[in-house]
Amino acid sequence: MTLPDAGHDPVGAVLRALDLTADAQRPDVFAGLSLPQPQGRVFGGQVLAQALLAAGRTVDDDRLPHSLHGYFLRPGDDSAPIDFVVERLRDGRSFSARRALAQQGGNPILAMTASFQEQQPGIEYAEAMPDVPGPDEVASALEVLGDVDHPMARFWAQESAFDLRHVPGPIYMRPDADSPLGRQSVWARARGPVPEDQLLHRALLAYACDQIMLEPVLRRAGLPWATPGLSMASLDHAMWWHRDVRVDDWLLFTQSTPSAQGGRGLGAARVFDRAGALVASIAQEGMVRVPL
C-alpha cells in the first residue's frame, strides 16, 4: 500500500484512501492509509468514512447505512496505517447494526456505530430546500484562496476533493459581520466522478461534511479560520441518510449552531440534492478554543 497523492487528482486520492484492504488473518478487520494533512493529523472525515465502509463490507449489499454515531477519541497520525476492527452487533430481518473501532498502534482513535437497512416502503415527507443562490452564482474556494500562499489555503483551494461554495461568503480569512445567528449555506460537489456505489457516496458525504460542520460556530462568534491561536477538533458526529445521494452532483448544506459553551460548539446541517430532496441530516460537536 502506498500513500495517496492528492496533488493532481484529489478525488482519486480520496478514493484510493477509502479502498480498504481486508486482513487475511483476522476476519472483519481492514486496513487503510491516510491522505497527508497540513498539520500531520488524520482528517476526521476520512477516518469516519473509512470506518463506515469497513462496517459496510460486513453487511449484505442490499442494506445501506441510514444512521451513524461516532466519537473521535485521539488525533491520528497521517503517516501511519489505520486498522478498522468491525463487530457484528445484530442482523435482523430489516436492519443490521455494526460497531467499528479505528486503531493506530493499538490505541483507538475513533469509535463508530452504524445501522443499515434494506429498502422498504413507508411514510414519506421532508423539509423543503431553502431558496438560495445557485452554485454557479457563488465563488468557489479556488477563486477565493487561489493566490494565498499558505498550506491550509492550498488544501482548501487545490487539494480538497470537494468544491465548496459559501452563501454568504466564506470565512477563511475574514469574519462575517452579516450573519449574527451563525447560519450559512454551502454548495459542495466532488471535483471528479465517483463510481456508481451508493455506500461509497454515503461515505463520501460523511467525509466531505467534516470540513464545514463547525463553521457556523466560528461564524456566530465572529471569527475566521485564520484566527491566530484557534484550535478546533471534532469530538463526536451523528448522521442520518434519508435518501440516496450523489456527491459528484451539487449538494446544498444548510447549517446552523444552536449552542457553544465550555470550549465546545455544536453544528447542525440539512443536506439537499440539486433537485431539492432532503438526503441527509447531520450534527457534530467539536472543541473550539481561542486565546482569551
Question: Which helix or strand (DSSP H or E) is residue 47 part of?
Answer: helix 44-56
Taking 80 as the threshold, does the pLDDT of residue 142 lie above it?
no
pLDDT for the residue 141? 78
pLDDT for the residue 4? 47
pLDDT for the residue 226? 86
Higher pLDDT, 9 or 68: 68
The mean pLDDT of 111-115, rounded to a whole number, is: 98
Q: How confident is the model at residue 82 (pLDDT cuts 50, 70, 90)?
A: very high
Higher pLDDT, 140 or 197: 197
pLDDT for the residue 127? 96
pLDDT for the residue 153? 65
The mean pLDDT of 62-67, rounded to a whole number, is: 98
pLDDT for the residue 124? 96
Amino acid letter at 278? L
State how beta strands 231-241 and 21-22 pair: unpaired
pLDDT tens-place string over residues 144-191: 777 776 666 666 666 789 999 999 888 888 888 777 788 999 999 999
pLDDT for the residue 242? 98
Q: Which of 77-81, 168-172, 224-228 has the highest mean pLDDT?
A: 77-81
Taking 70 as the threshold, does the pLDDT of residue 5 lie above it?
no
Question: Which helix or strand (DSSP H or E) is residue 207 part of?
Answer: helix 198-209
Q: Is 59 helix (H, G, I), strand (E, B) or coil?
A: coil
Which of 288, 276, 283, 284 shows the shortest CA–CA distance to 250? 276
The mean pLDDT of 186-208, rounded to a whole number, is: 97
Which of 225, 204, 269, 286 shows the shortest CA–CA distance to 39? 225
Taking 90 as the threshold, does the pLDDT of residue 192 lie above it?
yes
Q: Measured between alpha carbons, how far is residue 251 from residues 76, 79, 121, 129, 243 in Å?
A: 29, 31, 25, 11, 13
Distance CA 242, CA 236 (A): 20
Which of 243, 246, 232, 237 shows the shortest CA–CA distance to 268? 237
**With b meaning 16 or more CB within 10 Å and e meaning fewer, what string describes 100-110?**
bbbbbeeeebb
Tell me what percent of the residues of the chain surpass a pLDDT of 90.
80
| Segment among 31-45, 69-83, 267-281 with least mean pLDDT | 31-45
Taking 90 as the threshold, does the pLDDT of residue 132 lie above it?
yes
Taking 70 as the threshold, does the pLDDT of residue 253 lie above it?
yes
The mean pLDDT of 218-240, rounded to a whole number, is: 94
Q: Is the dihedral of CA 51, 54, 58, 61 positive or negative?
A: positive
How high does pLDDT run on average in the chain?
92
Higher pLDDT, 146 or 122: 122
Known catalytic residues are 210, 234, 284
pLDDT for the residue 96? 98
Taking 50 as the threshold, does the pLDDT of residue 6 lie above it?
no
For the full predicted model, state whether its pTM sits above 0.85.
Answer: yes
Q: Measured between alpha carbons, how far is residue 103 from residues 110, 141, 142, 235 in Å?
A: 7, 33, 34, 16
pLDDT for the residue 280? 98
Who contacts 80 (Cβ-Cβ below 8 Å, separation ≥6)?
Answer: 34, 104, 105
Distance CA 289, CA 229 (A): 8
Asked if omega into 224 is within 30° of 0 (cis), the reply is no
